[in-house]
Structure 1
Amino acid sequence: MAKINLSLLFNGNCEEAFNFYKSAFGTEFTFIGRYGDIPPQDGMPVISESEQTKIENICLPISETTVLMGADVIGYMVQRTIFGNNFSIYIEADSKEEADRLFAGLSVDGQVTMPMSVAHWGDYFGMFTDKFGVNWLINCACQHVK
């Protein structure tokens, strides 16, 4: 069966964002690639010296089946990338405690839109925008939540 992972684009602060996410999820990167690691290729633009340390691909497992991935946009990609709020990362936590831990860790210095609480549909739910402008939804469908 196919699975979905998320890949986020950043404007030069991907490494900072992913170190923040790493601390919140308590997991380790499985891959970090920088633009300077890419060998020159015919037909591809030269990567400037200032862009060579930027993140080309980073992978952070956030569950047994989901990986959060990211990259910095550089060169020609900057013109084609629109940073906005047209998506949210939705996490279904296994417990109220996990939901609270992730919410507390990821919302540091961000803007809480809805604190964790029992929602009108009965789940334990909260939402916020983190300090990097990424929207998050945390949900726990645990039956024992009161």
Structure 2
Amino acid sequence: MATINPYLNFLGNTEEAFNFYKSVFGGEFAMVMRFSDTEYGATLPEEDRNKIMHIALPIGGNMLMATDCLTSMGQNLNFGNNFSISVHGDSLEHAENLFNNLSADGNIIMPFKKEFWGDYFGNFFDKFGVQWMVNYREMQ
């Protein structure tokens, strides 16, 4: 069975927002990745390098996740694109099927493929304008 988690987008204050959410819900961050940790981090303006590329806070059986949108990367934040639905497949085949079926007649932003952080990932807007992210992590 796939799991679905909210994925939020912020304009540079993801860390502040997630420290607030952590103070409300408790727990520890499951992951914090900064843009400086990425393969292209050194090419970003200095003021963007320490911003959050990905953060995850477990809440019950779910995960609240987020990123900072960077105008230096051509990203804009508008009402309606400040969140995504993140779905994690049970297997690579399951995740590929979710990606292909949900993205049919939609607008693919990142094709589903293995990414530098090790997961298979893709994102898109479906034909109804809802933003989705499909992920699969191979267990080792």
Q: 1:83 aligns with which of 79, 85, 100?
A: 79
- Equivalent residue letter for 1:83: F
**Aligned-residue offset at 1:11:** 0.4
**In structure 1, how many angstroms separate the alpha carbons of the residues matched to 2:19 and 2:37?**
20
Contact 2:29–2:58 (Cα < 8 Å) also in 1:
yes
TM-score (norm 1): 0.50
The alignment covers a number of residue pairs equal to 82
- Unaligned ranges ≥5, structure 2: 84-140
**In structure 1, how many angstroms separate the alpha carbons of the residues matched to 2:21 and 2:69?**
19
Give deviations 1:116-142, integer Å, cap 9, x for gaps: xxxxxxxxxxxxxxxxxxxxxxxxxxx
Q: Which has the higher strand share?
A: 2
Q: 2:55 aligns with which of 50, 53, 58?
A: 58
**Aligned-residue offset at 1:46:** 2.6
**% identical aligned pairs:** 46
**In structure 2, how many angstroms separate the alpha carbons of the residues matched to 1:12 and 1:21?**
16
TM-score (norm 2): 0.52
Counterparts in 2 of 1:2 and 1:84: CA distance versus 1, 3 Å: closer
**In structure 2, how many angstroms separate the alpha carbons of the residues matched to 1:85 and 1:39?**
25
**Aligned-residue offset at 1:76:** 2.9
Counterparts in 2 of 1:13 and 1:48: CA distance versus 1, 3 Å: same
- Mapping for residues 38-77 of structure 1, pairs under 5 Å: 38-40=38-40, 46-63=43-60, 65-74=61-70, 75-77=72-74
**Aligned-residue offset at 1:78:** 3.0
State the match for 1:10 in structure 2: 10
Q: Which runs of 4+ in 1 moved over 4 A?
A: 84-87
- Equivalent residue letter for 2:55: I
Counterparts in 2 of 1:86 and 1:70: CA distance versus 1, 3 Å: closer
**In structure 1, how many angstroms separate the alpha carbons of the residues matched to 2:8 and 2:82?**
12
Of structures 1 and 2, the larger Rg is shown by: 1
- Equivalent residue letter for 2:75: V
Counterparts in 2 of 1:11 and 1:86: CA distance versus 1, 3 Å: closer
Higher relative contact order (CA 8 A, sep 6+): 2
RMSD: 2.4
Q: Secondary structure at the match of 1:71?
A: strand
